[in-house]
């Protein structure tokens, strides 16, 4: 961005920082430098920002908890956007908008963390989301990735997805129109390419908060048994190929414990690439490529990363 663009951007966004180390914004705990990071506090500010970015043809990315991204070591021109303020709110939909016996509709803004949403469900005696317990990140990131566990995906609970187009216009997409797939959500038609999710409307069921909390604790405990703890990662690195598990294929190829620099295939869970301390993004990329090559040689399957690489 030139001087004038920097000055204009600073008039649109209240919170802006320049030349930002992305390591703290990725659960891999490593990353390159972003030209600008803006934290947007409400929908009006977001709309003005996207319109300006479109007019200036400036590159942008939205991130949530950074738990499914790898930011490569180069300098990233453009703007990384984080959703804060009222774009983290949880609101009950007016009860007259739906039949009460079919549950409760809740509008959860994209910047809200999944952990905060689950805590809210417990306090408000609402169930359905427990299978997401222990998945880090934001509601927006979870919808974008169609995150899930235990045979369920977040899209199963969604009634509609609310987005902003790159022209800064709001758009509601009914659940039947959104294209939910394994670890991916796409919007139909012209909006497929660049979408910023601002909220999801979820249908939850009345439940005893104590039972919901107990089930969440149980699930988190199971995850601790199976997944590496205390090391940077983005969870499962590769998508499971049709009818199989990436972790099984990696283990069968004898790759548990394989390392490149400070990045390692976790000995505890073969589909986790972990930062053992001080890994640079290129260590992770090199290890990813080696795993893909060796699994292809060993079993004929080309693994696709689930992690979004910038």
Ligand X SMILES: Cc1cc2nc3c(=O)[nH]c(=O)nc-3n(C[C@H](O)[C@H](O)[C@H](O)COP(=O)(O)OP(=O)(O)OC[C@H]3O[C@@H](n4cnc5c(N)ncnc54)[C@H](O)[C@@H]3O)c2cc1C
Active-site residue set: 183, 236, 306
Closer residue to ligand X, CB minimum distance, 145 or 178: 145
Kindly write out the interface string for residues 258-297 of this chain, putting x where it contacts ligand X by CB under 6 A and - elsewhere. ----------------------------------------
Structure tokens at 135: 């998945």
Distance of CA 38 to the CA centre of its chain: 17
Of 110, 30, 108, the C-alpha closest to 69 is 30
Residues 6+ apart with CB under 8 A from 293: none
State yes or no: residue 128 binds ligand X (CB under 6 A): no
State yes or no: residue 247 binds ligand X (CB under 6 A): no
Residue span binding ligand X (CB under 6 A) among the ranges 44-52, 142-150, 258-266, 279-287: 142-150
Closer residue to ligand X, CB minimum distance, 30 or 138: 138
CB 197, min distance to ligand X, A: 4
Kindly write out the interface string for residues 52-91 of this chain, putting x where it contacts ligand X by CB under 6 A and - elsewhere. ---------xxxxxxxxx-------------x--------
Distance CA 161, CA 145 (A): 13
Closer residue to ligand X, CB minimum distance, 185 or 260: 185
Structure tokens at 78: 């453009």
State yes or no: residue 305 binds ligand X (CB under 6 A): no
Closer residue to ligand X, CB minimum distance, 103 or 140: 140
**Number of residues in contact with ligand X, rule: CB under 6 A?**
32
DSSP one-letter string for 208-261:
-HHHHHHHHHHHHHHHHHHS--SSB--SB-BPPPTTS-HHHHHHHTT-TT-EET
User: Is there a contact between 133 and 170 (Cβ–Cβ < 8 Å)?
Assistant: no
State yes or no: residue 41 binds ligand X (CB under 6 A): no
Considering only residues 179 to 198 of the shown chain, the ones binding ligand X according to CB under 6 A are 195-197
* Helix intervals (H) in 80-172: 114-123, 139-145
Site for ligand X (CB under 6 A): which residue of 147, 173, 178, 280? 147
Distance CA 219, CA 222 (A): 5
Residue span binding ligand X (CB under 6 A) among the ranges 46-54, 98-106, 136-144, 165-173: 136-144
Distance CA 72, CA 267 (A): 24
Q: How many CA atoms lie within 13 A of 272 on its CB side?
A: 21
Backbone angles phi, psi at 32, to 5 degrees: -80, -160
SS3 181: strand
Site for ligand X (CB under 6 A): which residue of 103, 128, 141, 168? 141
Considering only residues 102 to 121 of the shown chain, the ones binding ligand X according to CB under 6 A are 110
Closer residue to ligand X, CB minimum distance, 135 or 253: 135
CB 125, min distance to ligand X, A: 25
Residue span binding ligand X (CB under 6 A) among the ranges 97-105, 140-148, 171-179, 292-300: 140-148
DSSP one-letter string for 7-30:
HHHHHH-SEEEEEEE-GGGSTTS-
Residues that bind ligand X (CB under 6 A): 27, 61-69, 83, 110, 135-138, 140-142, 144-145, 147-149, 195-197, 227, 233-235, 308
């Amino acid at each position: 961005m030139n001087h004038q663009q920097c000055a204009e951007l600073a008039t649109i966004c209240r919170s802006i920082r320049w030349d930002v180390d992305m390591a703290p914004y990725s659960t891999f705990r490593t990353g390159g430098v972003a030209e600008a990071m803006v934290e947007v506090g409400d929908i009006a500010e977001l709309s003005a920002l996207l319109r300006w970015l479109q007019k200036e043809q400036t590159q942008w990315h939205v991130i949530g908890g950074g738990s499914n991204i790898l930011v490569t070591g180069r300098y990233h021109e453009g703007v990384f956007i984080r959703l804060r303020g009222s774009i983290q709110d949880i609101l009950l939909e007016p009860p007259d908008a739906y039949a009460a016996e079919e549950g409760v509709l809740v509008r959860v803004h994209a910047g809200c963390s999944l952990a905060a949403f689950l805590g809210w469900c417990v306090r408000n005696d609402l169930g359905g989301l427990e299978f997401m317990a222990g998945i880090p990140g934001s509601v927006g990131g979870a919808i974008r990735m169609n995150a899930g566990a235990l045979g369920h995906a977040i899209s199963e609970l969604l009634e509609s997805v609310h987005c902003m187009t790159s022209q800064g216009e709001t758009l509601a997409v009914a659940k039947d129109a959104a294209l939910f797939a394994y670890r991916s959500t796409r919007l139909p038609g012209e909006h497929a390419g660049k979408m910023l999710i601002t909220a999801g409307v979820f249908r939850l069921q009345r439940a005893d908060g104590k039972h919901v909390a107990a089930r969440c604790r149980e699930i988190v405990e199971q995850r601790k048994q199976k997944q590496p703890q205390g090391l940077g990662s983005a969870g499962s690195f590769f998508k499971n190929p049709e009818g199989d598990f990436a972790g099984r294929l990696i283990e069968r190829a004898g790759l548990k414990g394989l390392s490149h620099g400070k990045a390692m295939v976790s000995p505890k869970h073969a589909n986790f690439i972990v930062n053992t301390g001080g890994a640079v993004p290129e260590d992770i990329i090199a290890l990813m490529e080696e795993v893909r090559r060796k699994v292809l040689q060993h079993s004929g399957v080309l693994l696709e990363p689930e992690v979004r690489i910038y």
